[in-house]
Amino acid sequence: MHGIAEAAYIPAIASAPETVGFTEEETATTLCRAIGGMALTSSLVTKAEWGAVQVMPYKTHLTIDFVTSAFTLAAPWLFGFSRNEKARNSFIAMGLTGLVVGLLSRPEEMDPAKVRRLRRKADTHPAL
């Protein structure tokens, strides 16, 4: 589930300035791109079924997500765009979303090889 949430979160945060309409807030726009890029990189290198280059432990990934979410919540005040309602509220929503997804994620290490074996095994059985 975490990978699915992240697949939606990454493009949402990266495109938020255009989608929500705060591109005039350059700092917020730059932060959206940086957070989205960092989340994409983190996702791609995580030892999980969605990781492309599986080198980072899943618990490390969850820690990075938590720190990033806390940073995202504080960013409007840290970087001086808290008076821009669209940018501020977007960052609050993105930070809260990240925290909720992280809290709902199971922190046990995922074994991508085991997941692939189970999928192959399941694929040999007829669909219900």
- Percent pLDDT > 90 in the chain is 59
Q: To the nearest 10°, the Cα dihedral for 40, 47, 108, 113? A: 140
Read off the pLDDT of residues 3-21 as tens digits, 9 standing for 90 and up. 788 889 999 999 999 999 9
Residues 6+ apart with CB under 8 A from 107: 58, 59, 62
pLDDT above 90: residue 41: yes
User: By C-alpha distance, which of 31, 30, 64, 32 is closest to 45?
Assistant: 64
- State what percent of residues in the chain have pLDDT above 70: 90
Give residue 66's pLDDT: 95
pTM, whole model, 2 decimals? 0.81
